[in-house]
Chains A and B, each alone.
Chain A
Amino acid sequence: EVQLVASGGGLVQPGGSLRLSCVGSGFTFSSHWMSWVRQAPGKGLEWVANIKPDGTEKYYVDSLKGRFTISRDNAKNSLYLQMNSLRAEDMAVYYCARICDCGGGFFDYWGQGNLVTVSS
């Protein structure tokens, strides 16, 4: 069974940093593009970033470039999102998601989500 278990969310002050982690199991983690998608309270879905299976290519939504960094450790079946200079508008549930290994960029499995609260 494919599972994505995220951790690392919580309360952070504006301007602070936080690192989210996501551990994948039940599939060959090193074969899949992986992604972070976020959802602000009561709002829709926003794609944040993608990373290639070997970690050599990364793509971000323009509005977050320079503040957020996606990375992975295939030896640990782990995906990360380093978030710096956090703002109130970054408050959201952050989902890690697996991208299908089928030539398409849709998300076939999602983690449960990690709430990030940005507040003083």
Chain B
Amino acid sequence: DIVMTQSPDSLAVSLGERATINCKSSQSVLKSSNNKNYLAWYQQKPGQPPKLLISWASTRESGVPDRFSGSGSGTDFTLTISSLQAEDVAVYYCQQYYTIPITFGQGTRLEI
């Protein structure tokens, strides 16, 4: 199984400042046949289901504010929120879909 490890477990950032969440996979999730990274990011607010933010490591979903960006390749990935807003308080998860079983990181709690 591919193990996904996020860091840090929790993070406090001031409003308007940058937030950076890291995700490391135990093996590469880059498929050489199409040069795509099989990595997604989700945001989960209390009492709500997760919401897809980013797929293919860096493709922002429609409607997601452009302050959210994803980067990285192979085994090391980053979710960046360029200017933290109050509504960004949530738990963030990375997920690999390179292979079954699909696995998630343990989550990073983002606070103001």
* Proximity bits, A77-107, B CB within 8 Å = 1, else 0: 0000000000000000001000010101111
| Residues B101 and A110 in contact, CB atoms below 8 Å apart | no
Q: B44, B49, B97: which contacts A106 (Cβ < 8 A)? A: B97
User: With A104-B56, A107-B52 in contact, is A44–B106 under 8 Å at CB?
Assistant: yes
Complex Cα gap A94–B66 (Å): 30
Interface centre among A45, A62, A105, A112 (most CB of B within 10 A): A45
A-side interface residues toward B, CB under 8 Å?
35, 44-47, 50, 59, 61-62, 95, 100, 102, 104-113
Q: A45, A50, A59, A105: which contacts B50 (Cβ < 8 A)? A: A45
Q: A45, A59, A109: which contacts B93 (Cβ < 8 A)? A: A45
| Residues A110 and B49 in contact, CB atoms below 8 Å apart | yes
In the complex, the number of residue pairs spanning A and B with C-beta atoms less than 8 Å apart equals 57
Min CB distance, A110 to chain B, in Å? 4
* Proximity bits, B49-80, A CB within 8 Å = 1, else 0: 11110011000010000000000000000000
User: With A44-B106, A44-B107, A45-B93 in contact, is A106–B52 under 8 Å at CB?
Assistant: yes
Tell me which residues across on chain A come within 8 A of B38, comparing CB atoms.
Answer: 104-105
Min CB distance, B8 to chain A, in Å? 15
Q: How many residues of B contact A (CB 8 A)?
A: 23
| Residues B103 and A95 in contact, CB atoms below 8 Å apart | no
Give the nearest-CB partner of A4 in chain B: B49
- Beyond contacts A45-B50, A47-B102: 13 other A-B pairs, Cβ-Cβ < 8 A, are A44-B105, A44-B107, A45-B93, A62-B101, A95-B50, A104-B40, A104-B97, A106-B52, A106-B55, A107-B40, A108-B52, A108-B61, A112-B49
Tell me which residues across on chain B come within 8 A of A105, comparing CB atoms.
Answer: 38, 97, 102
Complex Cα gap A108–B100 (Å): 18
